[in-house]
């Protein structure tokens, strides 16, 4: 006996759900489950110690954000509204849009951003940074979240970071280390986004802070400039062939007593000759 069953296609509801799933995957892209062995992320393999100065974000929280941004990511669509894309990756990385800042330059949160789907494997951050270039927008990491904002807004609230560059200033005396640190500061302002620094009319600043046997740089600049600076210092350290001490020896705020400044009152005779004072650094 031969049984004939009528062939039925999928119900309209099932077909609609399946089509929506395909569109979602096509528009948003997907994080790759297996990182490409060719991807090397310098910002995740730092050798020069640095610390964020943020009352709402710990160093561990910042590290987690860096790792999320550095996940391999594969967009599969050329264009997608910005807010839709942010919503699709929020489960991967805490991210938000600075709506007021974007409206200030005539952009809405649903403004389309463009991706290139024919590029080699890249990180989420690389794809996002490339997409934001056309909008004159940048990424900043503040208060434990990634924020998409404008360059002008980012310049008005520069994140501060402290870098321990002691291992890059040699083993000389205090005077020699100070001169080396000043030269390093000048080099940074010459090769890392030169137009952004205060000495050339920008808003970013870099200040030396000797602390006992440490040579520290206190830097206020955009988040993405901090990343370039960190990579630059790390590469200098590796080029020198020596690795700094990985465990921080800086005193912790919870265990360090308040500093008390007690200036000496007894007069001191100067034994230095005219012209023998410490040379002042003057950037060209």
**Both structure tokens of 181:** 């640190």
Q: Which fold has domain 23-36+43-154?
A: Phage tail protein beta-alpha-beta fold (3.55.50)
Q: What is the pLDDT of residue 43?
A: 85
**Both structure tokens of 128:** 């996002």
**In Å, how far from its chain's centre is CA 130?**
15
Contact 168, 233 (CB under 8 A): yes
Q: Which residues of the chain have pLDDT under 50?
A: 2-3, 5-7, 13-27, 33-38, 245-266, 268, 270-284
Q: What is the DSSP letter of 213?
A: T
Q: What is the pTM of this model?
A: 0.72
Handedness of CA 192, 197, 202, 204 (dihedral sign): positive
Q: Could you tell me whether strands 205-211 and 214-220 are parallel, antiparallel, or unpaired per DSSP bridges? A: antiparallel
Per-residue pLDDT tens digits for 228-240: 999 999 999 999 8
Q: Where are the domains of the chain?
A: 23-36+43-154, 160-239
Q: Residue 227: name the closest of 42, 35, 14 by CA.
A: 42
Instruction: Map tokens 């390093």 to a residue.
Output: 184
Per-residue pLDDT tens digits for 171-201: 888 889 999 999 999 999 999 999 999 999 9
């Amino acid at each position: 006996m031969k049984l004939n069953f009528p062939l039925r296609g999928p119900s309209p509801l099932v077909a609609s759900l399946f089509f929506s799933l395909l569109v979602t995957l096509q528009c948003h892209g997907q994080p790759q489950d297996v990182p490409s062995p060719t991807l090397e992320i310098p910002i995740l393999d730092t050798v020069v110690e640095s610390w964020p100065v943020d009352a709402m974000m710990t160093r561990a929280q910042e590290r987690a954000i860096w790792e999320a941004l550095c996940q391999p990511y594969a967009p599969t669509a050329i264009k997608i509204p910005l807010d839709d894309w942010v919503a699709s990756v929020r489960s991967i990385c805490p991210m938000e849009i600075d709506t007021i800042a974007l409206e200030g330059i005539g952009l809405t949160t649903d403004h389309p951003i463009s991706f290139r789907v024919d590029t080699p494997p890249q990180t989420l951050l690389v794809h996002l940074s490339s997409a934001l270039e056309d909008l004159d927008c940048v990424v900043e990491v503040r208060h434990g979240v990634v924020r998409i904002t404008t360059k002008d807004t980012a310049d008005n609230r520069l994140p501060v970071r402290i870098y321990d560059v002691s291992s890059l200033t040699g083993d000389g005396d205090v005077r020699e280390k100070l001169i080396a640190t000043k030269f390093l500061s000048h080099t940074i302002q010459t090769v890392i986004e030169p137009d952004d620094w205060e000495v050339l009319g920008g808003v970013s600043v870099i200040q030396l802070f000797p602390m006992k046997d440490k040579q520290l740089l206190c830097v206020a600049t955009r988040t993405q400039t901090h990343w370039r600076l960190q990579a630059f210092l790390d590469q200098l350290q590796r080029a020198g062939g020596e690795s700094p001490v990985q465990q921080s020896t800086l005193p912790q705020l919870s265990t360090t007593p308040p500093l008390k400044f007690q200036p000496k009152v007894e007069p001191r005779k100067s034994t230095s000759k005219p012209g023998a004072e410490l040379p002042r650094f003057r950037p060209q």
